Amino acid sequence: MLNAHENPSADASIERFDQAYHQKGLASQRMYPNEAMVQFVLGLFGHLAPAERQTVRILEVGCGSGANLWMLSKEGFEVYGLDASAAGLSLAETHLAKKWEVMARLAVGDFTRLPYPDRFFDAVIDVVSLQHLNLKGTSAALVEVARVLKRDGRFFSYRLSDKSCMYLRNALPMIDAATVQDIPSPLPLANNGPTSFIGPALARHLYDAAGLIVESIQTFGRTYVSGDFVEYMAIDSSLRPI
């Protein structure tokens, strides 16, 4: 869990997700993996034989109840999952073992202080988790991602962009230039606590400061029945060469 003096806004998000896990169980999150993440991972490692996949270490930061982890484990990779919510990890452990008959190495931890050695992972993935950090926390988390990646490793992040309607509502209370205190109902993705929205230029700036190079950014948009528009960015990055 994030320390309050480093990212005080994070505790609010953790409390919201803990409450959802306790109240709704596995129904609190999606059951199946993010499609853009699947394309990223299999694009990198899909050609490997089963024996070779067993040597590929993949970490998901903010793994929640395991919707991405089970697919990665089924595909034969050595899978790690980190989350700030012990309740989410308990669900993930049950979900993986009972439904999918697979396992992952799970840990409760802080995105800004990853409990892993330097140059340990072939890939790190984030699916709508780091977006719940403010800009200071995001910067710290990116530095940690860069630290644990192998020299030829890659980082995938799927997060809200600043073209989303929730960010463009100027009346919402802000924590910093990119982070709203909370998204109110009836807007999409309401009541999940602090949420940050970044665009391609800011993403490249933050990544560069952390020692990461943005290789590509894809955008995915959705317009709700209400007319509200939400956009995500899928960011593929690598370590800056020494």
In a domain, residue 147? The reply is: yes
Q: Please give the residue range of the domain that contains residue 170.
A: 10-239
Classified as helix, coil or strand, 149 is: strand
Question: Closest Cα to residue 221, out of 211, 232, 213, 210?
Answer: 232
Report the amino acid identity of residue 28: S
pTM: 0.90
Give pLDDT tens digits for 60-90: 999 999 999 999 999 999 999 999 988 889 9
Residue 42: Cβ within 10 Å count: 13
Is it the case that residue 9 has pLDDT exceeding 70? no
Residues 174-186 have pLDDT tens digits of: 999 999 999 999 9
Strand partners, 81: 60, 106
Cβ(97)–Cβ(177) under 8 Å? no
Domain membership flag for residue 141: yes
- Identify whether 162 is part of a domain: yes
The reported pLDDT for the residue numbered 27 is: 52
Whether 25 has a pLDDT exceeding 50, the answer reads no
CA angle 94-124-238, nearest 5°?
170
| Other beta carbons less than 10 A from residue 18's beta carbon | 17
pLDDT higher than threshold 60 for residue 226: yes
Judge whether 113 lies within some domain: yes
- Residue 119, in any domain of the structure: yes
Looking at the 3D structure of the chain, how many domains does it have?
1
Q: How far apart are CA 60 and CA 66, in angstroms?
A: 9
pLDDT in tens, 112-149: 999 999 999 999 999 999 999 999 999 999 999 999 99
The share of the chain scoring above pLDDT 90, in percent, equals 79
Q: pLDDT tens digit string along 38-64?
A: 999 999 999 999 999 999 999 999 999
For position 150, which CATH number holds? 3.40.50.150
Q: Please check whether residue 56 lies inside any domain of the structure.
A: yes
Distance CA 145, CA 156 (A): 10
Per-residue model confidence (pLDDT) at position 242: 80
Helix (H) or strand (E) run with residue 126 in it: strand 121-127
Give the chain's mean pLDDT: 90
174 occurs within a structural domain:
yes
In this structure, is residue 21 part of a structural domain? yes
